Amino acid sequence: MTASVFHGKGATAWWGSTGYTEFVSLVEWSATILADVAESHAMHASSYGKTREVGFKTGTARVVCRLTGDAIVDEGSTYTLELWRTSSSAAKGYSGSAICTGVEAGVDMNDIEVITYSFQFTGAIANTLAAT
């Protein structure tokens, strides 16, 4: 499991299909990416009868922004979600088709209005965190 949290310092998030909309006043984003593992049983020359194979990857994401001036995302909408570690490069982050599963508005302990968007990835998740 990989969990990544970046607290505003240059991180950015995008949502859309062709004309992406940036989440403005981003506070943080987090992504949890999981890969299922399947067991395979067969006779091998090494005499080991069990191996493990990587299965489907799945993931969830959360984007937290200040409420004022934010992009509006409706629950149930499906588009591409891009999560970048830096505002200038998509080469460091995650990208994939996702469904917005929830929108939660509130006030944090510093009396700042925040909105939290929750997402479930629906297909292949591009991971470019290791890229240079």
In a domain, 132, yes or no: no
In a domain, 83, yes or no: yes
pLDDT at 4: 44
Which pLDDT belongs to residue 72? 76
Note whether residue 9 is domain-resident.
yes
Residue 100: the pLDDT is 95
DSSP letter for each residue of the chain: -EEEEE-SSS-EEEEESSS-EE-TTEEEEEEEEEEEEEEEE---TTS--EEEEEEEEEEEEEEEEESTTPPP--TT-EEEEEEEEETTEEEEEEEEEEEEEEEEEEE-TTS-EEEEEEEEE-S--EE-TT--
Q: Say which CATH number the domain at 8 has.
A: 2.40.30
User: Would residue 44 count as lying in a domain?
Assistant: no
Q: Which residue segment(s) compose the domain that 64 sits in?
A: 2-39+50-127
Is 66 domain-assigned?
A: yes
pLDDT of residue 122: 93
> What pTM was computed for the model?
0.75
Q: Which long-range contacts (CB under 8 A, 24 or more apart) does 20-24 make?
A: 20/80, 20/82, 21/71, 22/71, 23/63, 23/65, 23/70, 23/71, 23/117, 24/65, 24/69, 24/70, 24/71
pLDDT in tens, the chain (132 residues): 344 444 446 788 888 877 788 888 888 899 998 877 777 776 666 656 677 777 667 899 999 988 876 567 889 999 999 998 876 665 678 889 999 999 998 888 888 888 999 999 998 888 876 644
Give the per-residue pLDDT at 81.
92
With CA atoms as reference, report the closest residue to 113 among 70, 62, 67, 71: 67
Residue at 45 is within a domain? no
CA distance 38 to 82: 28
**pLDDT of 85:** 81
Query: Residue 17: inside a domain, yes or no?
Result: yes
The domain total for the chain is 1
Query: What is the predicted pLDDT for the residue at 8?
Result: 43
